[in-house]
Amino acid sequence: MRIFVTGATGFVGSAVVEELINAGHQVIGLSRSDAGAKALIATGAEVHRGDLKDLESLRSGAAKSDGVIHTAFIHDFSKLAENCEIDRIAIEALGSELEGSDRPLIVTSATGLLAGGRLGIEDDAPASIIPRVASEEATFSVAKRGLRASVLRLPPSVHGDGDHGFVPLLIGIARQKGVSAHVGEGLNRWAAVHRLDAAHLYRLVVETGAAGVRYHAVAEEGVSFRDIAAVIGRRLNVPVVSLTPEEATNHFGWFAHFAALDNLTSSQRTRELTGWQPKQPGLIPDIDRPRYFET
Ligand SMILES: NC(=O)c1ccc[n+]([C@@H]2O[C@H](COP(=O)([O-])OP(=O)(O)OC[C@H]3O[C@@H](n4cnc5c(N)ncnc54)[C@H](OP(=O)(O)O)[C@@H]3O)[C@@H](O)[C@H]2O)c1
């Protein structure tokens, strides 16, 4: 297949590009910079210059393809609502180009949108009021128009070399504050996946995925936050401390919501539907390496 990948230069998207090319697919990677274009060419992908805000660039990329994997997102959390709206409009543009064909559209979402405190499953609609629900709403809106559109939810930690997500952020906070903290007993859990396992699932879904389905790229249903904080404390040689919710707001700032998130999530249905079997190291052994703690 010839697959248009948005976010092709990102942490997740670059793994998807590599996975697709290794499996014999052709990739058209979206890039908004010369540096990104150069990196894509080096992997064997074709470059499509454009931007999430340039809808014509998204439509023309999709027009050249047999399917689209959408992983691009503007990660400026100070403008989250605005960026989620940009994502909604981008998904609608990609969908409008693919409409009337059997070409798949796979949109990235997050298991963090599910109701916490119980095992989240693929059929669960997003419960969170976080504006990121816009990505799933847009996907199901275009799927209703007969498009083979589906959602692939990623857990709070997608880990592996090159990670610049939530675990590196926690390491940065612990380094700055001189303590590695968890909220209460730290028994809240984060689902997790290695980026290479996630990339493999994107490929399976673009090859065989059905319309209107939510897939979970979850290798581990729930790793306790206390275990994550313990690795960080030991590696940085700082105390591991328990905070009250009020103290956590002060300590973690905007990240306090995620530090307290209990995101136990199943991928049983995804595995049944696709045959996906994650093979890479789990979150704790993966982050318990010097590489995660290089400054
Ligand atoms: N990593 C995680 O732990 C995690 C967990 C849950 C969900 N997710 C979701 O997974 C997806 C991929 O995340 P990631 O970790 O790979 O993010 P990332 O490394 O920050 O990559 C983001 C990608 O989006 C592109 N992008 C940003 N602004 C753009 C714009 N205005 N126009 C076009 N492209 C733009 C970036 O291009 P440049 O290279 O040009 O900046 C990059 O390719 C996102 O939807 C993210 O929210 C990630």
pLDDT in tens, 78-112: 899 999 999 999 999 999 999 989 999 999 999 99
What is the structure's pLDDT at 7?
A: 98
Determine the pLDDT at residue 239. Answer: 98
- In ligand 1, the atom with minimum distance to the C-alpha of 111 is 6
129 pLDDT tier (thresholds 50, 70, 90): confident
Span from the CA of 7 to the centroid of ligand 1 (angstroms) = 5
Give the mean pLDDT of 67-77: 95
Average pLDDT over all residues of the chain: 96
Q: Give the ligand 1 atom nearest the CA of 13.
A: 16
Is pLDDT of 130 > 90? no
Give 168-207 pLDDT, tens digit per residue: 999 999 999 999 999 999 999 999 999 999 999 999 999 9
Closest among 85, 96, 126 to 109, alpha carbons compared: 126
Q: 3-state SS of the chain? A: CEEEEECCCCHHHHHHHHHHHHCCCEEEEEECCHHHHHHHHHHCCEEEECCCCCHHHHHHHHHCCCEEEECCCCCCHHHHHHHHHHHHHHHHHHHHHHCCCCCCEEEEEEHHHCCCCCCECCCCCCCCCCCCHHHHHHHHHHHCCCCCEEEEEECCEEECCCCCCHHHHHHHHHHHHCCEEEECCCCCEEEEEEHHHHHHHHHHHHHHCCCCCEEECCCEEEEEHHHHHHHHHHHHCCCEEEECHHHHHHHHHHHHHHHCCCECECCHHHHHHHCCCCCCCCHHHHHCCHHHHCC
The pLDDT of residue 131 = 86
Give, for ligand 1, the residue of 139, 154, 255 to mutate: max count of ligand atoms closer than 8 Å to Cβ. Answer: 154
Predicted pLDDT at 9: 98
pLDDT of residue 93: 97
Query: Is pLDDT at 136 greater than 80 in this prediction?
Result: yes
Q: Residue 136 to residues 88, 92, 94, 129: CA-CA distances in angstroms? A: 8, 11, 14, 13
| Separation of alpha carbons 49 and 198, rounded Å | 25
Among the residue ranges 40-49, 111-120, 220-229, the one predicted with the least confidence is 111-120
- Assign 117 a pLDDT band (cuts: 50, 70, 90): confident
- Centroid of ligand 1 to alpha carbon of 12 (angstroms): 7
- Of 5-9, 44-48, 209-213, least confident by mean pLDDT is 209-213
- Residue 123: what pLDDT? 96
> Separation of 244 CA from ligand 1 center, angstroms?
32
From 4, 5, 11, give the residue whose CB has the most ligand 1 atoms within 8 Å, as the site to mutate.
Answer: 11
* pLDDT of 39 higher than 90: yes
CA of 11 to the centre of ligand 1 (A): 7
CA of 14 to the centre of ligand 1 (A): 10
Residue 26: is its pLDDT beyond 90? yes
- The residue whose CA has the least distance to atom 40 of ligand 1 is 32
Residue 128 has pLDDT above 80, yes or no: no
Model pLDDT, residue 142: 93
Please report which confidence band the pLDDT of residue 42 belongs to, taking 50, 70 and 90 as the band edges: very high
**pLDDT tens track for 235-286:** 999 999 999 999 999 999 999 999 999 999 999 999 999 999 999 999 999 9
